[in-house]
Amino acid sequence: MSRILVTGTLAIDYTGRYAGRFRDLPRHEGINLSIELDRIERRFGGCAMNIAYGLALLGHDPVPFVFVGDDHDADYAGHLKEVGIDSSGIVAVRGAAYSSHAFVFTDRDGNQFTGFYPGPARLPDFAERLAAFAGQRDFDYAVVAPDIAPNMIAAARVLNGLDVQFLCDPGQCLTDFTAAEARELVALSRELIVNRFEYETLRAYCGADPSTDLDCLLVTTGPDGSSCGEVSVPAAPVTRVVDPTGCGDAYRTGFVHARLLGAPLVEAMRAGACVAAIKIETDGTQRHRLDHFAERYAAAWGQTPAWFGATEGQHS
């Protein structure tokens, strides 16, 4: 079992389903649209928590470091306790009325439009709080999940100072970075993961292919799979598409899990694809189960690698 620090956000997700296709909506100057939703759901979310959830299911000891507001309720806390997620890094911020919230609308093709409220993320002493917290524990690895730019940059600096290897995942927050912030985050990272749109955004910010400054730049492309340099892996087979929300977080879960067990890059990417496929078949970002992960991997890729039987004894 590995102890993994996960920085980012804890959020409440409100997800809505649109029966039509976004591409068929009327085009106007500016964006002034109204759509009718088939249904709306309230779910536990936040990229850091989604990743922590998956890592806990796979037997690791994830420790999220996130800020919450006064609305952090007993239901979410109870859910985390049931899953077995360490809540010592969930910091309640006095005077912050709301935690992070995400509003996600999905059309029939799986395309999404997301609005995100970062909640109490903008604290001037984020770096000091994180350094104090992380310095008290021994972490085997970390994931810097999507957050506001100053927090992600601070997290990368703190982890480098503690000599903790991490996967950097700017995600949807990248569009709110300045070019200078994006370049700094790349410079502080060794491993970074983005989707196709985020890759193009990052490339525009950096003025060149950012992979030249990284040991590993993973690019996920939804149904087209994922790639890292010359290595490409197709998407894993899916029985039915239910909800694409959180599939990126699920991919990161599988990838990190496999790498920590010693899997080579291509097999770690396959593991990520497999967990993402399992997640897309379930509503919500923290409701899927991974009890049959090994069987799904074998069915998708025709083998069960030796690292599936590996055990880790760093922490208990």
On whether both 140 and 76 belong to a single domain, the answer is: yes
Q: Which of 105, 140, 169 is the last residue of a domain?
A: 169
Do 163 and 229 lie in one domain? The reply is no
Q: What average pLDDT does this structure show over 238-248?
A: 92
Q: 259 with 157, same domain?
A: no
Report the SS3 class of residue 66: strand
Decide: 266 and 300 in contact? Cβ < 8 Å.
no
pLDDT at 307: 94
We report the CATH number of the domain holding residue 98 as 3.40.1190.20
Q: Are 47 and 159 contained in the same domain? A: yes
- 161 and 85 together in one domain: yes
Per the structure, how many domains does the chain have?
A: 2
Q: Is residue 186 part of a domain?
A: no
For range 216-221, the mean pLDDT: 97
More confident residue, 117 or 296: 296
Residue 313 located in a structural domain:
no
In percent, the amount of the chain with pLDDT more than 90 equals 72
In this predicted structure, which of 26-35, 122-131, 139-148 has the lowest mean pLDDT?
A: 26-35
Residue 249 lies in a domain: yes
pLDDT of residue 100: 87
For residue 74, name the pLDDT band (cuts at 50, 70, 90): confident
- Give the global pTM: 0.91
Looking at residue 311, its pLDDT comes to 52
pLDDT on residue 208: 84
Q: Say yes or no: 46 and 159 in one domain.
A: yes
Tell me if 141 is assigned to some domain.
Answer: yes
Q: Report residue 314's pLDDT band, with 50, 70 and 90 as the boundaries.
A: very low
Domain boundary among the residues 169, 186, 203 is at 169
pLDDT exceeds 60 at position 247: yes
pLDDT at site 316: 37
Residue 185 within a domain: no
How large is the average pLDDT for residues 88-115? 88
Percent of the chain with pLDDT over 70: 98
The model's confidence at residue 26, banded by pLDDT at 50, 70 and 90, is confident
Mean pLDDT of 66-90: 93
Residue 195 domain-assigned? no
Is the residue at 85 inside a domain? Answer: yes
Tell me the C-alpha distance between 305 and 299, whole Å: 12
Q: Are 134 and 14 part of one and the same domain?
A: yes
Say if residue 2 is in the same domain as residue 106: yes
Q: Which of 169, 200, 235 is the last residue of a domain?
A: 169
| 71 in Cβ contact with 42 (< 8 Å) | no
* 3 and 98 inside one domain: yes
As a whole number, the mean pLDDT across the chain is 92
Domain ranges, residue 122: 1-22+39-169
| Residue 65 within any structural domain of the chain | yes
55 and 158 share a domain?
Answer: yes
Same domain for 99 and 8, yes or no, is: yes
* Per-residue pLDDT, 29: 74
pLDDT at position 315 over 70: no
Amino acid at 8: G
- Report the pLDDT value the prediction gives residue 153, as an integer from 0 to 100: 98
Check whether 313 has a pLDDT greater than 70.
no
Task: Give me the pLDDT at residue 39, please.
Answer: 85
Cβ neighbours for 296, distance < 8 A, ≥ 6 positions apart: 236, 274, 277, 278
d(CA 217, CA 224): 17
Q: In what order do the strands lie in the sheet with 191-195?
A: 90-92, 61-68, 3-7, 141-144, 166-168, 191-195, 216-220, 226-228, 231-233
Task: Report the C-alpha gap between 120 and 35 in whole angstroms.
Answer: 30
Supply the pLDDT for residue 82: 96
- The pLDDT tens digits for 199-216 are 999 999 998 888 888 999
One domain for residues 52 and 151 = yes
